Amino acid sequence: MGLPYSKKPLRQCISGGSIDPESRGRISIADGYQRAEADDGADQLDADFDDGWAELGIGSDKKLEVDELARAKKAYTFLRYTSLLHKRVLQDILTSQASNTGSPSPGVYDSMCNASATLLVSADDFVAALYGPQEPTRIKEELDTLQGIVNILCGIIKENFLPVEQQLSAQLEQLSLSQPTTSSLQRLAPSSAKWFQTIFEETRLHHANANQSAISSTSTWDSRSTESYDSFGI
């Protein structure tokens, strides 16, 4: 049985079918920051990291400073959880809910598609802000914008696909490998619902960590800017 017409755009949206290939490619450059986890400085990261932007004429030769690299590491962790959430929407919500007769209205899927497309663009802008020389103020703005979109997507999922808390607790207690649990409300299975609840908390946590890093850096950056102005008698 194929996906109803209202679900096809969202599936294409999340898997990349309706997103500009250039945007999909650029969001993947966030994976390059994973290499920073095993490196103590920016030199090796910059030497090995081929982000593919040079082919578009917008590559950056600026190496990251120590504080910029630390900021990028926290941003990378936040992006990884955001990416996991985005991919799991396709796997657990669209694929598993495709044949459910009690699925939400087409308007719900349209809203998810809009949030998905906006999330990809926002993530792209956030990654672009992490290139050196970084401006912490811009990073914070892009970070907050991205988290706002994640919150919208999470809200749609909570309202339309997750069991209410009391149902989820009861179902988790009864969950076993030999007795798959189904919901009379055609909501997600308890294991999937628990995963989404956990990822919601993780994205908030790592957004807060990345945000704190940007705020601290903003104060330092503003101080340096003031010193520069003072040196010119401004």
Dihedral (CA of 146, 150, 151, 156) sign? positive
In this prediction, residue 13 carries a pLDDT of 47
The domain tally of the chain equals 1
At which residue do the structure tokens 């990416």 appear? 83
Cα distance between the two ends of the chain: 69
Q: Does residue 234 lie in a domain region?
A: no
pLDDT computed for residue 150 by the predictor: 94
- pLDDT for 234: 32
The C-alpha torsion from 113 through 118 and 123 to 126, rounded to 10°, is -170
Residue 68 lies in a domain: yes
| 202 domain-assigned | yes
Q: Enter the tokens of residue 60.
A: 């950056």
Residue 52 lies in a domain: no
Q: Token pair for residue 20?
A: 């500009």
Cα–Cα dist 184/108, whole Å: 19
What is the reported pTM? 0.62
What CATH number should be reported for the domain holding residue 27? 1.20.1410.10
**Structural domain of 89:** 8-46+61-172+182-227
Q: How many CB atoms lie within 10 A of CB 173?
A: 9
Closest C-alpha among 82, 74, 156 to residue 119: 82
- Residue 111 covered by a domain: yes
pLDDT at residue 171, rounded to an integer: 54
Q: What is the CA radius of gyration of the chain?
A: 21
- pLDDT under 70: residue ranges of the chain: 1-62, 94-103, 164-186, 217-234
